[in-house]
Amino acid sequence: MCLYDTMYYFYPEQRNEFLVLASTFLCCMKDYEKFKQLVLQGATLYMPQLSLDCVIFGFHEGQLKVLLLKMRNLQEWALPGGFIYRQEALEVAASRILKERTGLDNIFLQQFHIFSDPTRSDTSKAIHHFSFADLSIDSSHWLAQRFISVGFYALVDFTRVTPQADELTDTCQWYDLENIPPLMMDHRHILDKALETLRIQLNYQPIGMSLMPEQFTMPELQKLYETILGVTLDRRNFQRKILGYHILKRREVRRTGVAHKSPYLYSFDEKQYQQALQDGLHKW
């Protein structure tokens, strides 16, 4: 199963194809060639011993969610990640990797920490997972080195993300923050650090605007703040403070079809929001 695992690792979206080996022989051969190229030419293509991992946050029905890839057989999930081309800036690499692995484009993306514990990469695992058949990988191989990883976090409007059934289903999946499965390597630590950054940057980055849909009610926005901060907030106090920043526009229409009194709908005033963030929401 080593070939399968390895190809799955790099091409999780082809899982179903791999499983139906007979009918996808040609397809697999093409992917195998692609993988072989990575193993053999990665050392000249990519920056050595440097990778990046992306924590992609979404918010839906009162839940903060994270997009994960399944590492089959390992029973472990992983953050979407990859390598940096020899002449590529990290931000460009992060955008490219997100696009390649999730189909998402033009999203809010920030580097937040670099993870460099010398024991974070398990080189023996790498040798096991990347070796197969006619590709022998030993401890001197570029994939079997210590890797330092740059953590990026991304914020997406969950409602605008349409997981592509043919590419993402079964392989790329949202998990509620409260229900994250075991993650490979130090990915849980990377996720926790991203969340900590989100808490701190709530007043300095357009986090609300990036995660909320175009229109939302005040209780929905409060729920986002409560989820990120991990606390319960007083309704009236929250409303007073958030309206005091002058970053919200109240819409003409109200939310209809809900059980209680129709609540007002709000949108972020992008220009005011960016200006407020630049000044710092909490002025001295």
Q: Which residues contribute to the site for a second copy (CB under 8 A)?
A: 47-50, 84, 86-91, 111, 113-114, 116-118, 146, 148, 150, 199-201, 203-204, 225, 229, 231, 233, 238, 241, 280, 282, 284
Give the integer Cα–Cα distance in Å for 192 and 190: 6
Cβ of residue 80: shortest distance to a second copy, in angstroms? 19
Cβ of residue 284: shortest distance to a second copy, in angstroms? 6
Q: Which is nearer to a second copy, 179 or 232 (CB)?
A: 232
Q: Which spans in the chain are helix H?
A: 2-10, 15-19, 25-45, 90-102, 123-130, 187-201, 207-211, 218-229, 235-244, 270-279
Q: What phi, psi does 39 have (nearest 5°)?
A: -65, -40
Q: Which is nearer to a second copy, 240 or 250 (CB)?
A: 240
Cβ of residue 245: shortest distance to a second copy, in angstroms? 12
List the one residue out of 54, 271, 280 whose CA is nearest residue 155.
Answer: 54
Q: Which is nearer to a second copy, 261 or 283 (CB)?
A: 283
Q: Which is nearer to a second copy, 173 or 205 (CB)?
A: 205
Sign (positive/negative) of CA torsion 70, 74, 75, 76? negative
Cβ of residue 27: shortest distance to a second copy, in angstroms? 34
Per DSSP, 217 falls in state: -
